[in-house]
A and B are shown apart, each in its own frame.
Chain A
Amino acid sequence: MEEKDIQAKQKLMNVPESGNGLTKSQLESQQQVGVSYWSLVKHQFKKNKLAVISLYIVITLVFLAVVADFLASSKPLYAVYNGTTYFPVVKDYLNDFGISKWEPDMINANWKQLDNENKLESVIWTPVPYGPREIDLSNSLNPPGGDHYLGTDPIGRDLLAGLIHGSRVSLAVGFVAAGIALLIGIVLGSIAGFYGGTVDIIIMRFVEIMMTLPTFFLIITIVAIYGSSIWYIMMAIGLTSWTGDAKLIRGEVLKVRNMEYITAANSIGLPNSQIIFRHVIPNAIAPVLVSGAFAIAGAILTEAALSFLGFGVAATTVTWGSLLNEARSASNAWWLAIFPGMMIFIAVVTYNLIGEGLRDALDPRLRD
């Protein structure tokens, strides 16, 4: 182990270096707070450079998704028109939340036309001055460069604006679907593992039945019957992909249940609910979080595949998969295939790398 490593570890474990001249009271104040399991995991995770970089990329993607409207919009951030100052992007939000209302004559104003006709006294556009659904048939299939940084699709929509707004759908699908799957998996898996016996048999047979359902075709069926909506897709992915989590957490709970601290909790007389939530699940959850990270990647991929096939979200919603779909009809427009494909690739790879980093950080055998 390198010297630096040792020092870092000593600092973490609050082990004072020998002969560093600290008085006893100083040592005691250093040792005030204990090192929790999760802070050890965090320390271990940070050693994996690839996983840390992936985490930053994911944080960036989340940031992009949150501020998408401020990065790419068909309305300006700031404009002065007829002596009145407007913040159209902010105003849209306020309007949606019902805090303030657009003036009736301005709600459908075409800001671009006003700008072109030089009617705006002052204007600041978003970095990408196009909305994801802004159709401009005169600019169809523009190659990257020029006004459209990454080019346009067959109906003249800006690709970069589409990618930025598409990250919202992809991330939302990933998090919500994986969240639903984790929630169902943890609840059913820990009940099965903790109570065992008949309860276990019933739940695990149900899991096996669920596992035989082909997720993809189930989603296509749901979309065919109820129409395409991002919510149906999230629900469908979440409701079909929890089986692995349930099996995983059941196995962990079986292991934890036989630990003596659970017997100790029983000897205190704590109710089962308190034992499960405070003592069993926190000790059984770590491997499931790893599978959660992989599940997010899987859900993003499933959504992209559905949108690519045209079964995904409604036609008006732009997603990475639906942009990729455009590339099928325009085989010369390489940018329509490369950029959305790259976004899907980056998202899936980073979630997988985070999952792997988490798995390594949680594995006590890999700790030195």
Chain B
Amino acid sequence: MSDILLEVNGLKKYFPIKTGIFSKTIGHVKAVDDVSFKIKKGETLGLVGESGCGKTTVGRSILRLIEPTGGEVIFDGKNITNMPQKELKEYRKQMQIIFQDPYSSLNPRITVGGMLTEILKFHEIAEGEAAEKRVEDLLEKVGLRKIHARRYPHEFSGGQRQRIGVARALSVEPKFIVCDEPVSALDVSIQSQIINLLQDLQKEFGITYLFISHDLSVVEHISNRVCVMYLGQLVEIADRDELYADSRHPYTQALLSAVPVPDPNKKSKRIILTGDVPSPAKVPSGCYFHPRCPKVFADCSTIRPELAGKGDHVQRCLLYPESYPKKSAAA
């Protein structure tokens, strides 16, 4: 247990679909359906997938910003899934989040310094002059200047705002930060600055990251291990190098083939997926991916594969015998 910081077991989040004047529930959108993974202390776990596959919902459910429908989140050996809000305050200090949109994630009416001192005061970290000093330290840590504390968010560029977002997450000295697509809204040159900042901070403070992104090259750069998500489920988990060298799930292969290679002479085989992502309100039978899978065969539409594999590399695909469900194999 000692080197596992965060354990997610069977996390589920269903959003009810309501209709009519009496708001009758006619179904559920399974945004996150039975997701389990573990994050070791000090590592970065990448979480990739298309838009709408439930990556953000996973991140926010872990922090209880969205109440999960089922499953459990164990942080540092303690189950926080059903913890009352009062007790949760202590864990709010240890788990933080960095948002995707640096424009809507900062309150436009409060100065940067005001925002940070509010947090420091609330969590009884520092007050008065000590708080001011700490705000200055934080700003310098993320590559901003002291005088920026008196400015309002609209006076900063997107990259600077994202640095402020990082400073906010850092202010409570967390052990774990969910990075929810922190660089997707930034242009490429700024992206690398923020990524490097996150890596430097990880080295300095030993912070653990859950790095959510749809950009595989960014994830390859920053992660130790990578989870691939499709339609609310994890389809493959592997060490970074192994995943990029030897991906097993056809979906992961298709994603990787879409990553641009900066070499004009190299012809890569691009796997083009057909069809749209199915609605999470009406998931396909069998394997969720089978209507779009280039390697589909008979069993795919009837048998629901399980996440299994050899060692640390697991996948959810019937091309590999270990993914056949145990019960139906006996039948």
- Given known contacts A260-B101, A283-B109, is B65 in contact with A266 (CB within 8 Å)? yes
Q: Please report which residues of chain B, range 71-108, place their CB below 8 angstroms from some CB of chain A when the two chains form the complex.
A: 85, 88-89, 92-93, 95-97, 99-101, 104-108
Give min CB distance, A257 to chain B, whole Å: 12
- Are the CB atoms of B150 and A261 closer together than 8 Å? no
Give min CB distance, A225 to chain B, whole Å: 39
B256 at the interface (CB under 8 A from A): no
- A330 CA to B60 CA in the complex, in Å? 74
Q: Please report which residues of chain A, range 12-41, place their CB below 8 angstroms from some CB of chain B when the two chains form the complex.
A: 13, 28, 31-37
Give min CB distance, B165 to chain A, whole Å: 8
Residue of B with least CB distance to A14:
B155
B203 at the interface (CB under 8 A from A): no
Residue of A with least CB distance to B119:
A268
- A278 CA to B119 CA in the complex, in Å? 12
- Are the CB atoms of B122 and A268 closer together than 8 Å? yes
Residue of B with least CB distance to A262:
B107
- A265 CA to B65 CA in the complex, in Å? 10
Interface string of B111-150 (1 = CB under 8 A from A): 1000000110011000000000000000000000001001
- Are the CB atoms of A37 and B109 closer together than 8 Å? yes
A270 at the interface (CB under 8 A from B): yes
Residues of chain B lying within 8 A (CB to CB) of residue A263: 60, 65, 97, 99, 105
- A103 CA to B38 CA in the complex, in Å? 89
Among candidates B89, B109, B147, residue contacting A32 with C-beta atoms closer than 8 Å = B147
A279 at the interface (CB under 8 A from B): yes
Among candidates B60, B119, B152, residue contacting A37 with C-beta atoms closer than 8 Å = B152
Residues of chain A lying within 8 A (CB to CB) of residue B110: 278-279, 282
Residues of chain A lying within 8 A (CB to CB) of residue B18: none
- Given known contacts A263-B65, A267-B63, A278-B118, is B151 in contact with A34 (CB within 8 Å)? yes
A259 at the interface (CB under 8 A from B): yes
- A291 CA to B147 CA in the complex, in Å? 37
- Are the CB atoms of A35 and B109 closer together than 8 Å? no
Give min CB distance, B302 to chain A, whole Å: 40
The contact size tier of chain B is: 35 or more
Residues of chain A lying within 8 A (CB to CB) of residue B147: 28, 31-32
Residues of chain B lying within 8 A (CB to CB) of residue A34: 111, 150-152, 155
Residue of B with least CB distance to A285:
B109
- A263 CA to B61 CA in the complex, in Å? 12
Residues of chain B lying within 8 A (CB to CB) of residue A269: 85, 88-89, 92-93, 122-123
Residues of chain A lying within 8 A (CB to CB) of residue B154: 37
Residue of B with least CB distance to A280:
B107
Q: Please report which residues of chain A, range 35-51, place their CB below 8 angstroms from some CB of chain B when the two chains form the complex.
A: 35-37
B235 at the interface (CB under 8 A from A): no
Q: Please report which residues of chain B, range 249-265, place their CB below 8 angstroms from some CB of chain A when the two chains form the complex.
A: none
B13 at the interface (CB under 8 A from A): no
- A283 CA to B153 CA in the complex, in Å? 13
- Are the CB atoms of A260 and B105 closer together than 8 Å? yes
Residues of chain B lying within 8 A (CB to CB) of residue A278: 110, 118
- A135 CA to B176 CA in the complex, in Å? 80
- Are the CB atoms of B152 and A264 closer together than 8 Å? no
- Are the CB atoms of A264 and B99 closer together than 8 Å? yes
Residues of chain B lying within 8 A (CB to CB) of residue A279: 107, 110
Q: Please report which residues of chain A, range 269-313, place their CB below 8 angstroms from some CB of chain B when the two chains form the complex.
A: 269-270, 274, 278-279, 282-283
Residues of chain A lying within 8 A (CB to CB) of residue B89: 269
- Are the CB atoms of B107 and A261 closer together than 8 Å? yes
- Are the CB atoms of B97 and A37 closer together than 8 Å? no
Q: Please report which residues of chain A, range 132-168, place their CB below 8 angstroms from some CB of chain B when the two chains form the complex.
A: none
- Given known contacts A35-B152, A267-B63, is B107 in contact with A283 (CB within 8 Å)? yes
Residues of chain A lying within 8 A (CB to CB) of residue B92: 267-269
Among candidates B65, B96, B104, B122, residue contacting A261 with C-beta atoms closer than 8 Å = B104
- Are the CB atoms of A268 and B99 closer together than 8 Å? no
B172 at the interface (CB under 8 A from A): yes
- A157 CA to B147 CA in the complex, in Å? 63
- A265 CA to B107 CA in the complex, in Å? 9
B248 at the interface (CB under 8 A from A): no
Pick the most buried of A266, A269, A274: most chain B CB atoms within 10 A of its CB.
A269
With A264-B99, A268-B122, A269-B85 known, 11 other A-B pairs at CB within 8 A are: A35-B151, A36-B109, A37-B108, A259-B104, A260-B100, A263-B97, A264-B168, A267-B65, A269-B93, A283-B108, A283-B109
In the A-B complex, the 7 residue pairs with the smallest Cβ-Cβ separation, listed nearest first, are A269-B92, A34-B151, A260-B105, A261-B107, A282-B109, A260-B104, A260-B99
